[in-house]
Structure 1
Amino acid sequence: MAKLTTTLCLILALVGMPSAFAQSDSVESTDAAASDDASESATTTQQDDEPTLDVNVGGSISFNTLFRNYGADTPFEEGADRVLSDGAFTFDTFRINANGSYGDLTFSTEYAIYPDAFGGLFIHHGWVGYAFSDAAEVQVGVSQSPFGIQPFASSSWFFNNTYYVGLEDQYNSGVKALFSPGNWDIQTAYYMNPAGTDFFGTTTADRYSYDVVPGADNLRNTVQEHQGNLKIARTFVHGDDASTKVGVSGQIGQLTNQGNQDFETPEDPAAGNTDWHGAYAVHVQQQLGGFEAKLQFAQQNMNPPVADGESTDFVTMGAYGGTYRVASDIDVYSTSLSYTIPVDIGPISAIAPHYDYSQVVKDVDGWNDNVSHILGFTTAAGPLFAYTDLIISKGHPFNQPFDETFGGVMAQQADNEWRTAFNINIGLYF
């Protein structure tokens, strides 16, 4: 059978040889063309599959005009009152930012320039991420901590008191994971340390968001480290223009006494000691057409590792190059109401009236609450945004004189006086 098969093959080959050669030339030519097409197709496919770098660069510059008169009797405040009683127009901040992607890699960063009196230069945020899908991403770097209503629990330029105790628009350094299956918003993070830490690990108050930092008098040497966050929220859609987002947040971390950074002073006897801090919040966001309501309750507990005999009733927090004391155990109530009204008045496209209310209640008898009422509106005109705000408050850090009362503004809040200020912030965003 094998011999028969071999013989038939030889006969067919001999009979068909001329045609075979002709076909061979044709096939070779066809194969060459097919090979070229395949090579071009492969190159095109490879080019199509190659990710491209997509970068968007932007920024903002803003200015403030502030009117207030505290009647304080310190030389600094007397001078400030003379200037600010009639309003003062001054530079607020310049920011440059970039965000984009390279395939599944994502990134976002922003650097801020403030006046020297407010800390000067520091990073706002900066992270690199990987998107596993449209519903899952991991970010490494300085990112917004997953806690409470985001991006802001307030609507005004002054912010609510939640920000000034480190529980709103907070940024830290570490790893964050975000999951958004369906209508869920699930975020978890581990932060090794806050954003305002220099190369040698020394924590300073030159930063955007408030954290526990060493005190200006070098008597409080406590810093935040090794913090874990978890936020779970779900959005309930009630129609085309109505929704409710309900969520809970929690964080827990370590407070470390890093010892004196000034080697000319004696070492803190509690140097190296650690303890813990924690906070939780429940929050609701309601949207109905142009109306938005943001409601939040938070509780924060700090346990500073200090030397024997020192008070644990407060910690020192800082940002913008300055520090003040914050009560260790607090309840924080925050409310923000706003309504966006589309308009067509020259370049103005929208006006959004808003009202922010917040209150900080301390656990120490005799320490006064911090209370603020902020009434104003935001105006949008193309790339221009203007915040116009009237604040009436007791113990709001940005509506408090820089006198002997400021150091305890979020702790004892000793003077407990109502103060009023009017501010207009005009920003160009590009």
Structure 2
Amino acid sequence: MARLHLLIRPEHILFPALLALSSTALAVPVTDNLDVGGAIRARFDHDPDRDIDKAGFDTLMLRATYTSDTWIGAARYRFYGKHYPYQYTDRIGDVAFAEYAWVGYRFDADRQVQVGLNQIPFGLQPFFGSTFFETLGNVVGLEDVSAVGAKYIHQQDDWNLQLGVYGRPAWPGRGTSNGSTYSTVVTSADDYVPEGTRNRERQIVVGRLARSLQLGDWKSEVGVSALTSRLENKDTGNDGRRNAYALHYLGQNGPWGVQLQGGRQQMSPRNPGSDEVVTFGGYDGTFNVASRGNLYVGDLSYSFPGTFADGWISGVKVYGNYSRFDKSASGFDTSERFILGTSFSVRSFYIAVEWLNGRNDPYIGGSSYTDSLAQGGTDHWENQLYANVGYYF
């Protein structure tokens, strides 16, 4: 009842707005090939250890999609601000950035090229698991990352090849930090980051090769990915490198799903001080990441077939996801994240409820934001409850 009372307080008006939208807002088919739409989302954060009990606006997203036999394209832009965790800003839109924006050409049903801000083809796609909050792969700059360049996709029978060549990471958006992008990318540190670095990433080359196959009762995909790029240090004027590679497995057996991935990120920056960290940023913040480390991800899910409550509820899924970043530098504590959650749709609303657990995790439980992924933070498990409710139109 305390939670219900919180949601209907006057300052938390998002649910009435969502309900009003649900009867009026629809994707707009501008032509047979073009439609525009978006989403409005609310978020809920409950962490009694830090006296956090927040409910309010999360995101406004606007999108456009174009599809034809030859030409394709997509763009989505996100707006944040005013509400937790951006309560330090005055207005919605004070934090805003593009998620993706690209145009493409289909040579045929099996071959296409995308040019612009598009997702790099690395590891499990499009995410490293079933979670809404995503894994530690996201905060070390490998999961759900878009960059500016060209990507070629070729499907040949059971084989899928993707090659990407990118000039730079995502364009900066609007915010109060140097980390003003949707993707977590190499970024110059803000003043509040101790021993932060000033690198920028250029000449990014990514490749991913995957094969679909049947392993017993499991419809499976196995694949390998690799990334290399140049790190330009703004202080020394010298160039280092970023290399990463991964092996992944994706399996589906009826309602059961398994996703596994193991890989390594190896950066050799040319910092004026220590080369053991590189500063990354995104979502209006910057923080240090260990230059060298192994990333492991495991995800188990179960999707309930059919609908419930006379068709109101559909797509019910439960899942558990564990990710781990083992750092190579001496004295750097391991970072871990464990998420138990469920996602489902209630008519036009998509809902995710997750119990977040993290150790040396910059986003969970109040560990050190700037150093958890480098030297480490509190080095003990923290947890909180998170939920997101979105109306997609």
Question: Normalized against structure 1, the TM-score is what?
Answer: 0.77
| 3-state secondary structure, aligned to 1:168 | coil
Shift in Å at residue 397 of structure 1? 2.3
CA–CA distance in structure 2, aligned partners of residues 348 and 400 of structure 1: 31
CA–CA distance in structure 1, aligned partners of residues 129 and 275 of structure 2: 30
Cα 1:242–1:318 shift into 2, 3 Å: same
Cα 1:198–1:357 shift into 2, 3 Å: closer
* Correspondence for 1:247 among 199, 218, 223: 223
1:130 is matched with which residue? 105
2:17 is matched with which residue? none
Q: Which has the higher helix share?
A: 1
Does 1:207 find its partner at 2:181? yes
Query: What are the within-5 Å matches in structure 2 for residues 16-415 of structure 1?
Result: 54-71=33-50, 81=51, 84=52, 87-115=53-81, 120-197=95-172, 204-217=178-191, 220-237=197-214, 242-257=218-233, 259=234, 268=235, 270=236, 272-307=237-272, 310-342=273-305, 343-346=307-310, 347-401=312-366, 405-415=368-378
Native 8 Å contact 1:60 1:429 kept in 2? yes
1:233-280 CA distance string (max 9 Å, x none): 0111469x84100000000000012x3xxxxxxxx3x0x311111000
Native 8 Å contact 2:178 2:285 kept in 1? no
Native 8 Å contact 1:294 1:337 kept in 2? yes
Shift in Å at residue 129 of structure 1? 0.5
1:14 is matched with which residue? none
Cα 1:348–1:198 shift into 2, 3 Å: closer
Shift in Å at residue 184 of structure 1? 1.3
Shift in Å at residue 197 of structure 1? 3.8
Shift in Å at residue 382 of structure 1? 2.6
CA–CA distance in structure 2, aligned partners of residues 398 and 93 of structure 1: 18
1:341-363 CA distance string (max 9 Å, x none): 02322410231111010111000
Shift in Å at residue 415 of structure 1? 1.9
1:174-207 CA distance string (max 9 Å, x none): 01100011121110010100003479xxx94111
Shift in Å at residue 58 of structure 1? 2.1
Shift in Å at residue 94 of structure 1? 1.1
**Any stretches of 5+ residues in structure 2 without a counterpart?**
1-30, 87-93
After superposing on structure 2, the runs of 4+ consecutive aligned residues of structure 1 that deviate more than 6 Å are none
| 3-state secondary structure, aligned to 2:33 | strand
1:310-329 CA distance string (max 9 Å, x none): 10000000001101100000
Native 8 Å contact 1:254 1:275 kept in 2? yes
Native 8 Å contact 2:97 2:173 kept in 1? no
Shift in Å at residue 289 of structure 1? 1.2
1:37 is matched with which residue? none
Shift in Å at residue 102 of structure 1? 4.6
Q: Which has the higher strand share?
A: 2
Cα 1:103–1:276 shift into 2, 3 Å: same
CA–CA distance in structure 1, aligned partners of residues 147 and 164 of structure 2: 10
Percent identity of the aligned residues?
Answer: 30
Native 8 Å contact 2:363 2:369 kept in 1? no
Larger deviation: 378-387 or 326-335?
A: 378-387
| 3-state secondary structure, aligned to 1:406 | coil
Native 8 Å contact 1:367 1:414 kept in 2? no
Question: Normalized against structure 2, the TM-score is what?
Answer: 0.84
Native 8 Å contact 2:47 2:365 kept in 1? no
Shift in Å at residue 159 of structure 1? 1.2
- Structure with higher Rg: it is 1
What code does the residue aligned with 1:228 have?
Answer: V
**What is the aligned residue count?**
347
Cα 1:361–1:53 shift into 2, 3 Å: same
Native 8 Å contact 1:158 1:398 kept in 2? no
CA–CA distance in structure 1, aligned partners of residues 255 and 39 of structure 2: 25
Shift in Å at residue 406 of structure 1? 1.9
Native 8 Å contact 1:196 1:204 kept in 2? no
| 3-state secondary structure, aligned to 1:152 | coil
